[in-house]
Homo-oligomer: A and B are copies of this chain.
Amino acid sequence: MTQREEHRKHKNPVPAVDFLISKDNNSKILLVRRKNDPFKGMLSIPGGFINEGETAEDAMRREAEEETSLIVEPTAILGVYSDPRRDPRMHTLSVTFITRIVRGTENARDDAAALQWIKLEGDELDGLIQSQQIAFDHSKILSDYKKWIRATQGSVQSSTSTNLTFWSTKNKQSNEALQSKNQQRDK
Contact = CB atoms under 8 A, between A and B. Distances in A.
A25 interface: no
Given A51-B12, A89-B4, A147-B162, A77 B80 contact: yes
Q: How many copies does the complex hold?
A: 2
A39 interface: no
A46 interface: no
B52 A11 contact: yes
Q: 7 smallest A-B Cβ distances: which pairs?
A: A11-B52, A4-B90, A3-B89, A56-B82, A77-B167, A55-B82, A165-B167
A127 interface: no
A79 interface: yes
A54 interface: yes
Task: Tell me if A's interface is mostly helix, strand, loop or mixed.
Answer: mixed
B13 A50 contact: yes
Contact of A170 (B55, B91, B169): B55
Interface string A46-69: 000111111111000000000000
Interface residues of A, number: 47
Interface of A: 3-4, 7-8, 10-15, 49-57, 74, 76-77, 79-80, 82-84, 89-91, 93, 95, 144, 147, 151-152, 161-171
Given A50-B82, A164-B165, 20 more contacts: A4-B90, A7-B14, A12-B50, A12-B51, A15-B82, A52-B84, A52-B91, A53-B91, A57-B169, A74-B169, A77-B165, A80-B80, A80-B95, A95-B95, A151-B162, A161-B168, A161-B171, A164-B164, A165-B165, A165-B167
Contacts of A57: 82, 169-170
A93 B14 contact: no
A40 to B, nearest CB: 14
